[in-house]
Structure 1
Amino acid sequence: MRRTLDYYFAPQSPWVYLGHARLTELLQRTNTEVRVRPADFGHIFSVSGGLPLPQRAPQRQAYRLVELRRFSEALGVPLNPQPRHFPLPGDPSALLITAVAAHDGAAAAMRLTGAIGQAIWVQERNMADATELAAVLAECGLDAERLAQAQDAQTKALYAQHTREAVDAGVFGAPSYVLDGEIFWGQDRLDFVERRLAA
């Protein structure tokens, strides 16, 4: 029987970007289905004790930059730890991914998620800007209509549903991978996801 993994994430997260290609490859190699679940981590932080980046202690902010550089080098994934357009609101890109998942399926939503991460962390583009989001949609070969659909009531309801499901599952950070009810938090836990899939 084909396994299913729930992928909860904030598309603007550098940790999501660092792990996304490896997750995509793992899912393909293990023939695992994915449910693409962008979620509102501002809300999730508020109910789980997390803090948005600008509110964290200076020591934590400084160490985050060290770790981003370490993982970028270790994984061979290019990343600018302090891109021009960050922090930025995650809702515009999260809603767009939600709309694409609903209309075009998980594979298209995964492709778009990877492109958005690349746009933020390598190309330094503003993924809260509708014009830039439209450009990335086109680069992914996706329908321009998805940008308008990202703002409709159905998409917003789905996004809220993903957020509730994340909270109910015990998710508190991004990315989180939920497999058979077990949470794996962070791109550095993908080896454990693979082991769980092999079990």
Structure 2
Amino acid sequence: MEKDSNFILTGKAVERYFDLNDALMEFHNLFTYESKDDRAIAILGGTFLEMILEHILYAFFPEDDKEVGEMMQFNQPLGNFSNKIKMCYCLGLIDKIIKDDLNLIRKIRNEFAHDLYASFESDRIKSWCLQLKWHKIIVTPYPPSDATPKDYFQVGVNSLITHLNGCVSIARNDKRIIKDNF
């Protein structure tokens, strides 16, 4: 992609753009504040954020579906949430505060995925939810006094999604290009 055409989507970028927007609509329908299923909220929030990180990496990496796709598979370098967070951070695609919040959400998602009795009110999960910072910067530094740990989680996830969705476009503008020869 040439620098002059950065704002015109072509090829796989168009397909990925519409895939992400379709996923955002589906996420919006499932990740509601009315949902009583805490496990679904925790797992869905973390999983969707992992998916956006994957979109950021695909937007940044060169168009080589075979090589990049293999790296994203399970048991490969970018086959899990933690490694996607690290890679985006090390490439300068996300800031430290975003990395830290993503790691907290990853821990929360994993706790709900592996502990049948996980709850937003458990001390560990509550502590992680209250440590989330990004939403305090862009939404409000003073959440309502009656905000629950689940509220902190949901606002934190939604704030990160908004930010990371913009990071996809930024990564696309810095897309790596495969050099055929010197």
TM-score by length of 2: 0.32
Which is higher, the Rg of structure 1 or of structure 2?
Answer: 2
Structure with the larger helix share: 2
Structure with the larger strand share: 1
